Amino acid sequence: MSEQENKNTSVNEQVDQLAAKIEEVVLGPDGNPLSKKALKKLEKEREKEKKKQERPALEAAERAAREANEVDYAKDNYGMAKMNMSQEQTNTKWTEIKDLNAAMAGETVYIQARVQTSRPVSAKMCFLVLREGTATAQALLLTNKDSISKQMVKFANSIPSESIVSIVATVTQPGEPIKSCTVGDAELHVTKLFVTSEVKTMLPFSLEDASRSETDYEKDPTLNRVNLDTRLNNRVIDLRTITNNAIFKIQAAVCQLFREFLEKQSFTEIHSPKIIGAASEGGANVFRVTYFKDSAFLAQSPQLYKQACIAADFGKVYEIAPVFRAEDSNTHRHLTEYIGLDLECVFREHYHEVMYMIGDMFIYIFKNLEERWAHELEIVRKQYPSEKIKFDEKPLRLEYKDAVALLRKHGEEIGDYDDFSTPQEKLLGKLVKQEYDTDFYMLDKFPLGVRPFYTMPDPENPMYSNSYDFFLRGEEIMSGAQRVHNADFLRERIVSMGIDPDSLKDYIKAFEYGCPPHAGGGVGLERVVMFYLGVGNIRRVSLFPRDPKRLEP
């Protein structure tokens, strides 16, 4: 509009200059008044000259008026929206981009979405890619005589990427599928376009760069890379990529499926305290909290509390909650705060009742992820290519001693009762994959010496224990065991491991009043998601990751 005003001003200026010229020429070049004849002649000439002079100005004025008119005919159809303070509520039905499809052709839809990119084709036409969550669609503005002006197209082109817009559009079916968007069989012909929230700052990186796969970089090594630290420092922008939106839908899905399975089995969800009075489980790697005039600690696991719930007759319990580890590990798979999926379950005869149930649970999760979250998995696999994981209907169970034998067969040096190193775990994963064609298995009967004090020894060989880890793509995702449910024996185990039983007296007390045999386990949510999706670093699957060096944002 300011440009139009400039044009108008310039026409007025030209008219004024002409009028001044006319007054000037009434006097002859010598400064004396001209004769009537000469004056008439001159007037005619001036008339002619004036018209000649005025023509471009008038034409410009007319053009300006016409253009101003064009602005007018579309001006109610676009612009900056007032800040939404809930000024009004209509009965408009709004559509989400993910729900668009060819069957809606001809329908008028109302959409609120983000402008991912805008691309001008000419002064009369422009394409927008609109994004909402994990869905993108192509929108088109094309001038017409009554509702879409060039000014509106220009305005559309000028919207900064990542701004939020509200549009009204007609759904059309494109001639051929739109490959660059997740909605391929529908296109939006925009009739109204308002900016709801404008981006006023330069983005730290483009969403396009943040969404590239390794394959993209192989094809064109000059493309910008966005390194992990830059992403995490600007996590709100980074999380907007459809890949990241999809990753966190999958993370939520893992929790949802975990609960679905356990609730069908009559598990009760519990919420155990995270601020605890005594540093349990030894006291190492625990964060200290100032608690009024006292000192407290952050719980390293809900272990003792979920067992207390078993002693309190809850039967089957689970918890999804943050777990805190003050461990100074700066690796691809350690966080100082992560989400634990914990469960504990009474059994009647044998801890395998629980172990196999947990195995079935993982298979339920894996299967349902592939079926019900196929859209999200497809999106993630475009940026981070990975194969579907392989597993058997009844998950493979290996004994620790057999795993040791397998490793030795392939040249590893390892003692009977040694814990595996991470490289050994990964090698074992490869060997198991070769031999059994599965990415998922249960390793049972760990040496007693490498497990915590509350682990039940094996009844046949006290060097082993009734404990298990679950592995996905060669890395541990869950650790569990039958627990010692007998107070006297628990005290004996605690003392034998050199721990002061007084420091665990509340824990031991829970079992003195009778407790059924039970087993359980703890799953690291981020690890499951990370290994399932093969994204290589645990920080990619934590919303706002915390490690020894990162506390923000």
Which active-site residues does the annotation give?
325, 327, 333-334, 476, 479, 527
129 binds its own copies (CB under 8 A): no
How does DSSP assign 216-274, residue by residue?
A: HHHH-TTS----HHHHHHTHHHHTTSHHHHHHHHHHHHHHHHHHHHHHHTT-EE----S
Given the rule CB under 8 A, which of 144-152, 183-191, 261-269, 386-394 is the region that contacts its own copies? 261-269
The two three-digit tokens of residue 442, written as one number:
């249960």
The per-residue b/e assignment along 191-229, b for 16 or more CB within 10 angstroms, e otherwise, is bbbbbbbeeeeeeebebeebbbeeeeeeeeeeeeebeee
Site for its own copies in 519-548 (CB under 8 A): 525, 543-546, 548
* Nearer to its own copies among residue 263 and residue 435 (C-beta): 263
If DSSP codes are grouped into helix, strand and coil, which group holds residue 434? helix
Given the rule CB under 8 A, which of 30-38, 118-126, 174-182, 513-521 is the region that contacts its own copies? 513-521
Site for its own copies in 26-55 (CB under 8 A): none
106, 176, 236, 411: which one binds its own copies (CB under 8 A): 236
482 binds its own copies (CB under 8 A): yes
* Nearer to its own copies among residue 3 and residue 349 (C-beta): 349
Residue type, 166: S
Q: What is the DSSP letter of 77?
A: G
User: Tokens 């690291």 label which residue?
Assistant: 524
For residues 194 and 163, give the distance between their C-alpha atoms in angstroms, rounded to a whole number. 10
For residues 36 and 275, give the distance between their C-alpha atoms in angstroms, rounded to a whole number. 107
Residues 6+ apart with CB under 8 A from 68: 4
324 binds its own copies (CB under 8 A): yes
414 binds its own copies (CB under 8 A): no
Site for its own copies in 101-120 (CB under 8 A): 110, 112, 114
459, 496, 498, 500: which one binds its own copies (CB under 8 A): 459
Number of residues in the chain: 553
- Closest contact distance (angstroms) between CB of 79 and its own copies is 16
220, 294, 371, 387: which one binds its own copies (CB under 8 A): 294
For residues 308 and 338, give the distance between their C-alpha atoms in angstroms, rounded to a whole number. 22
229 binds its own copies (CB under 8 A): no
For residues 513 and 535, give the distance between their C-alpha atoms in angstroms, rounded to a whole number. 47
- Closest contact distance (angstroms) between CB of 313 and its own copies is 5
Site for its own copies in 198-217 (CB under 8 A): 198-201, 203
391 binds its own copies (CB under 8 A): no
Strand partners, 110: 94, 168
Cα 501 → chain centroid: 45
Given the rule CB under 8 A, which of 46-54, 221-229, 430-438, 485-493 is the region that contacts its own copies? 485-493
Given the rule CB under 8 A, which of 72-80, 85-93, 365-373, 393-401 is the region that contacts its own copies? 85-93
156 binds its own copies (CB under 8 A): no
- Closest contact distance (angstroms) between CB of 110 and its own copies is 8
* Nearer to its own copies among residue 429 and residue 457 (C-beta): 457
552 binds its own copies (CB under 8 A): yes
514 binds its own copies (CB under 8 A): yes
Given the rule CB under 8 A, which of 52-60, 65-73, 348-356, 531-539 is the region that contacts its own copies? 348-356
- Closest contact distance (angstroms) between CB of 6 and its own copies is 28
77, 136, 151, 245: which one binds its own copies (CB under 8 A): 245
The per-residue b/e assignment along 324-357, b for 16 or more CB within 10 angstroms, e otherwise, is bbebeeeeebbbbbbbbbbbbbbbeeebbebbeb
Residue type, 464: Y
Contact 439, 533 (CB under 8 A): no
168 binds its own copies (CB under 8 A): no
